[in-house]
């Protein structure tokens, strides 16, 4: 017999039970569901809607049910559809008809919205911490390789040299905004929907604020229809998760490129790579590839949730049961990626010499030569053209700017002096970008300080 069977004359078709049930996945919410129920019961007693004795019995029963779920003794069934009704059924089995008082003044609609918020609160905390751990790992590499220069790219063409530390710090700042976004959405997640009932509120004189306080919420959802029918807080999380994945995925792409023989800028630790079943020489950056690959499902979950919500009339609709799997999947996908990422970055070997060699053997100091000519009085547009000719000459002669003789380079402009060579070394080129946020060593040191302060403040 269904808990709601009174109005029905027939049992549900078994396929309908299977199709509409969510217990297979919403059992993940069991602990949150029971925590919410215990707070609800305490409120019912405090407001004298049920007796203290009944409340105590129900609370003890709920704890027993939790125990049985945890140790695998409890049978969770599709017949009872979802975690909420399974728990209620188990409670009634445990303590008898008094368990039937638990659902007084409550609906599964406000209950499920509550569970989702409780779950997401924990997920936000966990994920923020994991992102912070990754920032720490990146900062460790930053500090260990503070003066390492590597080519900076635009269009994946060598552009201007940058400090490796500067490059890594870019990710630290991206991740900082990610943590801030998670913190911002916390405010909107951390409100209690309980008391909204099915949609319109409840006839019982419940104390919504009391339940909110019991559960550590900052306040209550102001409008009962909104409380049970919106999942914008889930969308917000999925959107923030999508951005975190984007940032991770871009870093992954660089790790994959950098660990190729073509770049040879880094080596990932053996513990974070895998081999090939056929080719004995292979060492593949599988973790980085898979984190990049899993970005697809994280984006998919965001689009899926948005699409499910679009066009739903107020208030609750069964469609909304589709809010769970994508959210769980995103939380687990992100946690899995982040847990691996921090130690993978921490153990990464930075091939300082190869990075330096790459910078030495390219034209990424060409802008500096143009700037040098400007310093000697030439207009930038003219110096750009002169240096363009010098670069073309070097390409034809198979050499780089620093390989030229003074006489050779003077052939393009007589204002060039001996001091040009000191101007064009990788170190000089990097340190010349001495403006706030630039790649000069002292500016990178400023960024380290800012990043570390951010980390301790969030």
- Using CB under 6 A as the criterion, which residues of the chain lie in contact with ligand ARG when the complex forms? 22, 26, 82, 84, 108-109, 112, 316, 318, 320-321
Is the peptide bond between 315 and the residue preceding it cis, with omega within 30 degrees of 0? Answer: yes
Q: Give the Cα-Cα-Cα angle 189, 195, 196 (nearest 5 degrees).
A: 75
In whole angstroms, how close is the CB of 316 to ligand ARG at the nearest point?
6
In sequence order, the 6+-apart residues with CB closer than 8 A to the CB of 62 are 34, 37, 38, 41, 87, 91, 102
Beta carbon nearer to ligand ARG, 218 or 319: 319
Residue (200 or 395) nearer to ligand ARG, CB: 200
What angle is formed at CA 57 by the lines to CA 83 and CA 52, rounded to 5 degrees? 120
Per the annotation, the verdict on 383 as an active-site residue is no
Catalytic residue (one of 22, 167, 229, 276): 276
**Which three-class secondary structure state does DSSP give residue 416?**
coil
> 3-state DSSP call for residue 103?
coil
CA 89 from chain centre, in angstroms, equals 37
Q: Hey, what are 458's tokens?
A: 């969030």
Q: How many residues does the chain have?
A: 458
**Residue 34 Cβ vs ligand ARG, minimum distance, rounded to whole Å:** 15
Cβ of residue 185: shortest distance to ligand ARG, in angstroms? 21
Q: Which of 40, 103, 128, 155 is catalytic?
A: 155
Among residues 22 and 59, whose Cβ is nearest to ligand ARG?
A: 22
441 and 431 in contact (C-beta within 8 Å)? yes
Q: Rank residues 135 and 229 by Cβ distance to ligand ARG and give the closer one.
A: 229
Backbone angles phi, psi at 404, to 5 degrees: -80, 155
The CB-of-331 to ligand ARG minimum distance in angstroms stands at: 16
Residue 119 C-beta: closest distance to ligand ARG, Å = 12
Q: What is the dihedral of CA 337, 342, 346, 350, to 10 degrees?
A: 50
Nearer Cβ to ligand ARG, position 85 or 130? 85
Determine the 3-state secondary structure of 219 from DSSP. Answer: strand
Distance CA 125, CA 76 (A): 29
- Establish whether 276 is a catalytic residue: yes
Which positions are annotated as active-site residues? 155, 276
């Amino acid at each position: 017999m269904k808990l709601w069977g009174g109005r029905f004359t027939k049992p549900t078709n078994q396929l309908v039970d299977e199709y509409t049930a969510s217990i297979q996945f919403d059992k993940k919410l069991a602990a949150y569901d029971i925590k919410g129920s215990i707070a609800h019961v305490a409120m019912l007693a405090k407001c004298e809607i049920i007796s203290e004795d009944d409340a105590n019995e129900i609370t003890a029963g709920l704890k027993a049910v939790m125990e049985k779920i945890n140790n695998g003794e409890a049978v969770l069934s599709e017949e009872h559809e979802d975690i909420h009704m399974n728990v209620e059924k188990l409670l009634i089995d445990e303590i008898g008809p008094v368990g039937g008082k638990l659902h007084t003044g409550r609906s599964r609609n406000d209950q499920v919205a509550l569970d989702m918020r409780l779950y997401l609160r924990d997920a936000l905390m966990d994920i923020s911490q994991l992102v912070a751990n990754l920032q720490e790992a990146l900062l460790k590499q930053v500090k260990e390789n503070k003066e390492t220069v590597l080519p900076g790219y635009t269009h994946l063409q060598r552009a201007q040299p940058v400090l490796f530390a500067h490059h890594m710090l870019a990710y630290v700042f991206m991740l900082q905004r990610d943590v801030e976004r998670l913190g911002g959405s916390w405010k909107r997640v951390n409100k209690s929907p309980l008391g909204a009932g099915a949609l319109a509120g409840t006839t019982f004189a419940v104390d919504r604020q009391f339940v909110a306080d019991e559960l550590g919420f900052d306040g209550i959802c102001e409008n009962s229809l909104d409380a049970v029918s919106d999942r914008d807080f889930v969308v917000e999380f999925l959107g923030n998760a999508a951005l975190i994945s984007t940032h991770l995925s871009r870093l992954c792409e660089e790790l994959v490129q950098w660990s190729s023989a073509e770049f040879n800028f880094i080596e990932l630790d053996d513990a974070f790579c895998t081999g090939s079943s056929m080719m004995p020489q292979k060492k593949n950056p599988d973790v980085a590839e898979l984190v990049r690959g899993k970005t697809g499902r994280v984006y998919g979950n965001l689009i899926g949730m948005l699409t499910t919500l679009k066009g739903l009339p107020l208030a609750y609709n069964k469609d909304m049961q589709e809010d769970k799997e994508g959210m769980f999947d995103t939380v687990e996908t992100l946690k899995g990626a982040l847990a691996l990422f921090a130690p993978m970055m921490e153990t990464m070997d930075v091939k300082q010499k190869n990075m330096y060699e790459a910078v030495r053997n390219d034209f990424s100091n060409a802008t500096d030569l143009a700037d040098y000519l400007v310093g000697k009085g030439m207009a930038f547009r003219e110096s750009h053209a002169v240096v363009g000719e010098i670069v073309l000459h070097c390409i034809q002669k198979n050499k780089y700017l620093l390989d030229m003789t003074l006489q050779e380079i003077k052939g393009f402009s007589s204002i060039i002096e001996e001091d040009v060579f000191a101007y064009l070394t990788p170190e000089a080129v990097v340190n010349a970008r001495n403006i706030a946020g630039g790649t000069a060593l002292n500016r990178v040191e400023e960024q380290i300080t800012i990043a570390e302060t951010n980390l301790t403040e969030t």
